[in-house]
Amino acid sequence: MGTGRTAIVILGASGDLAKRKLVPALIHLCHSGKIDQSTVIVGEGRSDFSDAEFRNSFKTPEPLASMLFYHKGITGLKSFLADKGDFPRSIVFFALPPQVYSATARELVQEGFGPDTSIIIEKPFGADYQTAVALNRQLSDCFDEQRIYRNDHYLAKEAVQNILVFRFANSIFYPVWNNNYIESIQINASETLGVGTRSAYFDKAGILRDMVQNHLMQLLCLMTMEAPVSLGAEDIAEKKVELLRALSIEACDRRQYEGYVKEPGVAPGSSTETYVELIFRINNFRWAGVPVYLRCGKALDRNGTEIGVRFKPVPGIVFDKQGPLPPNEIVFMIQPQEGIILSMSSKEPGGELKLIKTNMNFCYHDSFSQEIPEAYQRLLLDAIRGDHTLFVTARETELSWKALENVLDKGSVLPYKRGSVPPSSFGIQWIDFENYCCSCKLR
């Protein structure tokens, strides 16, 4: 079913995000019939392109190519759209540096984009609590909150969306999701690459701002929030806000990989962290006493984003001769593989009673034959439909920054060897995520 006649504008269309993600996602949605072919997609930028040159850069066949247009600059953009027809809705995606968001919003209003216009902005939403509050206020001066979509593409990953289904649609897991049974929750995001071409941006941000405040804090919320009244956007946001209000940081260790200051674009003597290890506490009845461990970094030994739940061990009374029993663990694999693994004890075949650790695997690629949609396809389609469920509210962004307020740019930054994971400064027994993997091969 189509979504009606809509004008979609991508500001900064000559940039990397538009080329790699946004325009290909929109073309796919058009090709699959999820976007009405009366929709127009307009790229805006500072470069000089004709419509034909813009279309050719994406190698789009007809009739989809005729939906693509290009306009240089925001001035005159409204009349340019009017020449293409009457559009009840306009959606403007800010594929732009975050520091120009508020000025661009004002420019759009001055150009004539009004109540029928929605805007989509990318993270980071500010650089700290104060700047996030200011940015939200400046954007709300130009557009109603229901017209502002704060995009965190992690929320559109299938494995992330499945967290709430896993927690609240399965009676075997819901009753044990609390401090009576769970010893710790562990969030891990590892990347083998360094800062690369993003060094100029990253050196002003660091891993806390670039990954923790947005992507990983959202994962934390989904893993620990209370059950919402419904799956509506407002109900889910309400529970995430409640969780963020109860969140505090017990400890933080910031580190930097050796050779970082020699990367092109990095300031001499920079103290920007490229790795962080955190201990969170959630101050409510469900999670009192349960630490949430989080580590995230660049130039590490592997690529992978996972969430682990370690359960409290059962008493070893029956199997006391076997030694300490390994705790049960559940691992949610977010990327590059997508799946859920349950680790448990079982008997090894043979005459003697010997316990071994075995895994039960759920892998997306083994369980579903259809293509898993790319995150931006889902996010763009939801924005066109007016669905805020997978987007972040102003209050969430502010409280997420508030939780990090006491650790941003604070404390010393110790070095670590590139290609290695720094040993835990807090003696955390991290789940061995590397030894958890889906049985399938990535396609």
Opening angle at CA 216, ends 434 and 281, nearest 5: 100
**118 sits in which H/E element:** strand 117-122
Using alpha carbons, list the distances in angstroms from residue 400 to 14, 132, 135, 188.
31, 10, 14, 18
Residue whose token pair is 């070095």:
415
CB 384 within 8 A of CB 35: yes
Can you spell out the DSSP letters for 167-192?
A: HHS-TTTGGG-STTTEEEEEEEEE-S
For tokens 């929750």, what's the residue?
185
Catalytic residue among 28, 71, 215, 388: 215
- Rounded (10°) angle between helices 217-224 and 394-404: 100
Crossing angle of the two packed helices 233-245 and 394-404, in degrees rounded to 10: 20
Q: What is the DSSP string of 229-281?
A: SSSSHHHHHHHHHHHHHTEEEEEEEEEEETTGGGSTTPPTT----SEEEEEEE
Closest CA relative to residue 302, chosen from 209, 188, 212, 402: 188
Taking residue 430's Cβ as centre, other Cβ atoms within 10 Å add up to 16
Judge whether 60 and 27 are in contact, CB under 8 Å.
Answer: yes
Confirm if 268 and 261 have CB atoms less than 8 A apart.
yes
* Neighbour tally for 28: CB within 10 Å: 19
Please say if 28 is a catalytic residue. Answer: no
Catalytic residue positions?
Answer: 215
